[in-house]
Amino acid sequence: MCGIVAYIGSREAYPILIKGLRRLEYRGYDSAGVALLNKGNLSVYKKEGKVAVLEDFAKNHDIAGNIGIGHTRWATHGVPCDRNAHPHLSNSHRLAIIHNGIIENYASLKAELETRGYVFESDTDTEVLLNLIEDIQKEEKRTIEEAVRVALNEVVGAYAIVVIDKNEPDKIIAARKGSPLVIGIGQNEFFVASDASPIIEYTNNVVYLNDEEFAVLNRNGQLDIKTLGNLEKTPYIQKLEMDLEKIEKGGYEHFMLKEIYEQPQVILDCMRGRMNAEQGWIKLGGVNEYATRINNAKRIIITACGTSWHSGLIGEYLIEELARVPVEVEYASEFRYRNPIVTQNDVVLAISQSGETADTLSAIQIAKERQALIYGICNVIGSSIAREAHAGSYTHAGPEIGVASTKAFTVQVTILTLMALQLAQSKGTISQSRLRTILYEMEQVPEKVKQTLKLDVKIKEIAAKYFEAKNFLYLGRGLAFPIALEGALKLKEISYIHAEGYPAAEMKHGPIALIDENMPVVFIATNKSAHEKIVSNIQEVKARKGKVIAIILEGDETIKGLADDYIEVPDTDELLSPLVAIVPLQLLSYHIALMRGCNVDQPRNLAKSVTVE
Ligand code: F6R
């Protein structure tokens, strides 16, 4: 939610900022802006819309300067417009700021500043924070870093900020609490960004700031980090393991398509070294580390949001089925606000692609206070949730840039499957031969996903038949129910078609009233144990003239004879079927969205990483 980038050194800042903003655009694209400091002049250019609009605007202006900050916005306080775009200037126009997060007590701070004569040009909480910094700087005669520190002690909320001061042109100040921030260290130069993607081509030495820390980045190459309590910290420099190629589109038309096609490889990468079918073992490092607590857990609580919550539902089925441990799956946003009963006998699994989702982060903080063991399943290495958790498993899918989550989902399900199997093996709830059979089948999954991707042409034809529909229903039973939810979410978020996922058997308790000849109903019929029942549900839809699109296993003649359209996917062990069944639904929504002229990588109103409540 909002991307920030900054540079100080001897290069021209503007090209670095713009390139960085393009890479961070997945985090928000309501407006974009830069501030550049050059020979005592502070210039700010900002425009509503995407980074390209800003670039177009800035090309007729002076963009020189070796210090700069840039921002791409996902609006929280104030509508998207030039005025509310970042960077913001302080009243004296001496300071400029970029901010990702929310200052919750901004209203009272603003009222107080207004009584002291401050005037606000925007509706944002960020401008309030900046003027608070300016006020402290002026009134208390403090350096910029001191003013930032004192101000941040007064604010409630979340932030990753960078501040520059026209009168102190040899440094920039960065601080964070609850929103991500990485510092890249070059030769007498520094980069700051919301994630490492804008930094990677310049340096792979990075420092991740911790919550309630701030950094002073000096042009002479000196880096000072302190806590908000004014304690000095020694910077912990880490090596980035990110590949530039992986953050480019690599010949695909969209990131989403590239990421869908990466699934065979990332599932393989995710399993690598963690299982061996031949020898019949599974080894998730994080599970081994806390084996006693995990094996003895009375209950597992899975908490997540959106797509990650859907993978959590699959985790529930798998863990209960294989390891016979009770599992609850909770929306993190509900969990954190309902005084949940959590004890030291619980294990809380937090699932998050970004590792920065504010609700999920808060949920685990609550569970941690109540002594539960926190296990993170994250994709982004070094992310806040990964760091807050006691243990965890990275999904190793590489950067996911398309706003609609695709490959992150399949690797989350892969980890959850391994976890369920490892737990089942330790608890003795699975026979060694059944375990081996599943592991052998798991090894085949990447190839089966690859085969499913070959159905793209047919899926596109089906998309062409239905792309003008106003509503869609997605139905599935058992393990196919979360897939129905996920298929519906993919469609609605990128094509803006209203779509609902439902347990197929629940249809008759309400949604069946929606069915007529204009309603496409997508059935996920890939779990054999529910076959007869799903056939009956298809009949019920056909009897009401609904249009049936069925995801079936190869050779399912019964459903072929009933469905208006069908997509045949390779058979696998039923417990692994979600990993294959989701793929045609991702492609279906991709093609439908394109046919409707939607921006699939940057759907309206959304942002990749939701760092606000
Ligand atoms: C849907 C989507 C969102 C995310 C959700 C959680 O395609 O991307 O629903 O799944 O915002 O994000 P993470 O997994 O980063 O916590």
Q: What is the 3-state secondary structure (H, E, C) of 255-321?
A: HHHHHHHCHHHHHHHHHCCCEECCCCEECCHHHHHCHHHHHCCCEEEEEECHHHHHHHHHHHHHHHH
Asked whether 2 and 28 are in contact (CB, 8 A), the reply is yes
Distance 304 CA to ligand 1 centre (A): 8
Residue 354 Cβ < 6 Å to ligand 1: yes
Nearest alpha carbon, ligand 1 atom 16? 352
Q: How many CA atoms lie within 13 A of 445 on its CB side?
A: 33
Q: Output the CA angle 601-602-606, nearest 5 degrees.
A: 130
- CB of 308 closer than 6 A to ligand 1? yes
- Half-sphere exposure for 112 (CA within 13 Å, toward CB): 12
Per the structure block, which two tokens stand in for 379? 């994709």
377 lines ligand 1 (CB under 6 A): no
Residue 598 bears catalytic tag: no
Give the H or E element holding residue 108. Answer: helix 106-115
Give the pLDDT confidence score for residue 468 in this predicted structure: 97
Helix runs in 324-383, H state only: 332-335, 358-369
Tell me the C-alpha distance between 379 and 150, whole Å: 34
Task: Using DSSP bridges, classify how beta strands 190-193 and 205-208 pair: parallel, antiparallel or unpaired.
Answer: unpaired
- Whole-angstrom distance, CA of residue 566 vs CA of residue 521: 11
Measured CA to CA, the distance from residue 453 to residue 424 in angstroms comes to 32
Residue 434, number of CB atoms within 10 A of its CB? 14
Q: Where are the domains of the chain?
A: 3-246, 249-452, 454-600
CATH number of 454-600: 3.40.50.10490
Looking at the CA of residue 609, tell me the nearest atom of ligand 1.
15
Q: Which of 405, 409, 590 to mutate to test the pocket of ligand 1 (most atoms within 8 A of CB)?
A: 405
Q: Among the atoms of ligand 1, which is closest to the Cα of residue 406?
A: 7
CB 357 near ligand 1, within 6 Å: yes
* Residue 405, ligand 1, Cβ within 6 A: yes
54: Cα within 13 Å, side-chain hemisphere? 33
For ligand 1, atom 4, the nearest C-alpha belongs to: 306
Cis peptide before 584 (omega within 30 of 0): no
249-452 has the same fold as 3-246? no
307 within ligand 1 shell (Cβ under 6 A): yes
For residue 408, give the ligand 1 atom closest to its CA. 14
- State yes or no: is 2 an active-site residue: yes
482: enclosing H helix or E strand: helix 480-495
pLDDT of residue 606: 83
Residue 606's contacts (CB-CB under 8 Å, 6 or more residues apart) are: 403, 493
Task: Output the pLDDT for position 610.
Answer: 78
State the pLDDT at residue 403: 92
- Torsion sign, CA atoms 37, 39, 41, 43: negative
CA of 360 to the centre of ligand 1 (A): 11
User: Is the distance from CB of 521 to CB of 473 less than 8 angstroms?
Assistant: yes
pLDDT for the residue 290: 95
Q: Looking at domain 249-452, which CATH architecture does it have?
A: 3-Layer(aba) Sandwich (3.40)
Is residue 163 a contact partner of residue 7, using CB atoms and an 8 Å limit?
Answer: no
Q: Is 305 in the pocket of ligand 1 (CB under 6 A)?
A: yes
Cα(300) to centroid(ligand 1), Å: 21
CATH number of 3-246: 3.60.20.10
For residue 7, report the distance from its CA to the centre of ligand 1, in Å. Answer: 29
Residue 167 Cα to ligand 1 midpoint, Å, equals 41
Residues of the chain falling short of pLDDT 70: none
Candidates 177, 226, 490, 608; catalytic one:
608
Cα 532 to middle of ligand 1, angstroms: 33
| The overall pTM is greater than 0.75 | yes
- Rg of the chain on CA atoms, in Å: 25
pLDDT of residue 300: 98
- Asked if residue 31 has its Cβ within 6 Å of ligand 1, the reply is no
What pLDDT was estimated at residue 250?
A: 81
Distance 122 CA to ligand 1 centre (A): 29
| Ligand 1 near 76 CB (within 6 A) | no
Catalytic residue among 2, 305, 378, 598: 2
Q: Is 333 in the pocket of ligand 1 (CB under 6 A)?
A: no
Which atom of ligand 1 is nearest the CA belonging to 490? 7
Cβ–ligand 1 contact at 352 (below 6 Å): yes
